[in-house]
């Protein structure tokens, strides 16, 4: 049954080198989006490099919420409620990314307690500033989302201007051995400038 559910998922897995494991994913994305979807470095740094501007973070929600079933399945044990942080990333007032992070309580304590006091800082910037604690065994998926997907509907509640279709990626990070799921929904504003060709780590 689990295998059947995976086949029905709109998400396609990408390996650590950016190659697509499942058919029908990255190569279907417009070329302008492919570099953003496959990049394995810090999205924060990549955006700031592309626009030559500092990234602005608008916190839409940072609270205990019910986790989506598709998110819960990615963790080793089922999750029901945990910390969910949703932010809007902007450059000069232009929204470029909606990010949704699922942070289990076991992942925000101990050595991670101080790291995950984020305020208005993007989670990605904090993670990559503490690379000593990030496992290299990250898992990344990409997808073309629309109103049919639960994560699209969840993010649209916090950001009503969400386009009806968009490209997204999600990554499972392990910070000091504890999992964090970060989903990034790419907005049209991200293509107002050509993305950089080099990966920024």
Give me the domains of the chain, ranges plus CATH numbers. Answer: 2-191 (3.40.1410.10)
Exposure of 172 in the CB half-sphere (CA atoms within 13 A): 17
Residue 32 contacts residue 195 (beta carbons within 8 Å): yes
> Hey, is 75 helix, strand or coil?
coil
> Hey, is 201 helix, strand or coil?
coil
Residue 145 contacts residue 33 (beta carbons within 8 Å): no
Per-run averaged pLDDT (10 residues), the chain, 201 residues: 49 63 61 88 89 93 92 86 92 95 81 73 74 62 95 97 96 85 95 55 31
Residue 134 contacts residue 127 (beta carbons within 8 Å): yes
Q: What is the pLDDT of residue 193?
A: 66
Return d(Cα 150, Cα 156) in angstroms, integer: 10
Angle formed at CA 168 by CA 99 and CA 65, multiple of 5 degrees: 40
pTM of the model: 0.83
Return d(Cα 96, Cα 191) in angstroms, integer: 8
Return d(Cα 125, Cα 178) in angstroms, integer: 17
């Amino acid at each position: 049954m689990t295998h059947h559910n995976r086949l029905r998922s709109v998400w396609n897995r990408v390996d650590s080198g950016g190659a697509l494991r499942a058919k029908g994913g990255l190569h279907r994305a417009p070329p302008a989006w492919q570099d953003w979807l496959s990049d394995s470095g810090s999205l924060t740094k990549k955006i700031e490099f592309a626009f030559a501007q500092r990234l602005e973070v608008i916190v839409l929600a940072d609270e205990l919420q019910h986790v989506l079933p598709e998110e819960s399945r990615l963790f080793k044990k089922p999750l029901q409620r945990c910390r969910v942080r949703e932010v809007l990333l902007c450059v000069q007032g232009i929204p470029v990314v909606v990010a949704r992070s699922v942070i289990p309580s076991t992942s925000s304590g101990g050595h991670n307690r101080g790291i995950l006091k984020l305020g208005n800082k993007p989670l990605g910037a904090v993670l990559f500033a503490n690379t000593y604690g990030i496992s290299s065994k990250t898992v990344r998926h990409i997808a073309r989302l629309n109103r049919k997907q639960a994560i699209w509907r969840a993010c649209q509640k916090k950001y009503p201007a969400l386009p009806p279709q968009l490209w997204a990626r999600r990554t499972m990070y392990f910070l000091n051995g504890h999992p964090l799921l970060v989903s990034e929904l790419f907005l049209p504003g991200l293509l107002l400038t050509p993305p950089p060709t080099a990966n920024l780590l």
